[in-house]
Amino acid sequence: MMEFWVANPLIEMIFGIVSFVGVLLLGWANLMVDPPKTAVAIPAELNVWERHRLRQSQRKEE
């Protein structure tokens, strides 16, 4: 019965490649359906608290 689980390295390799390609396709399809929003540039000279408040105000506008 144990021979079934380590049946054939070729079958396992093919299954691994198919699984990997499938995961890549699912991730690509997910990005196509719901693309990430482009981030708005926040000036670096603002301090941490001002940047936080600016992000919060941008979220409220959405």
pLDDT per residue as tens digits for the range 34-54: 766 666 666 666 677 777 777
Q: Does 49 reside within a domain?
A: yes
| ∠ CA 41-42-47, rounded to 5° | 165
Count of domains observed in the chain: 1
Are 16 and 28 within 8 A, CB to CB?
no
Q: Does 53 reside within a domain?
A: yes
- Reported as a single tens digit per residue, the pLDDT across 5-31 is 656 888 888 999 999 999 999 988 888
At residue 20, the pLDDT reads: 96
Q: Does 25 reside within a domain?
A: yes
**Confidence class of residue 32 from pLDDT cuts 50, 70 and 90?**
confident
Q: Does 2 reside within a domain?
A: no
Q: Does 40 reside within a domain?
A: yes
Which of the residue ranges 40-44, 53-57, 58-62 would you say has the lowest mean pLDDT?
A: 40-44
Are 18 and 10 within 8 A, CB to CB?
no
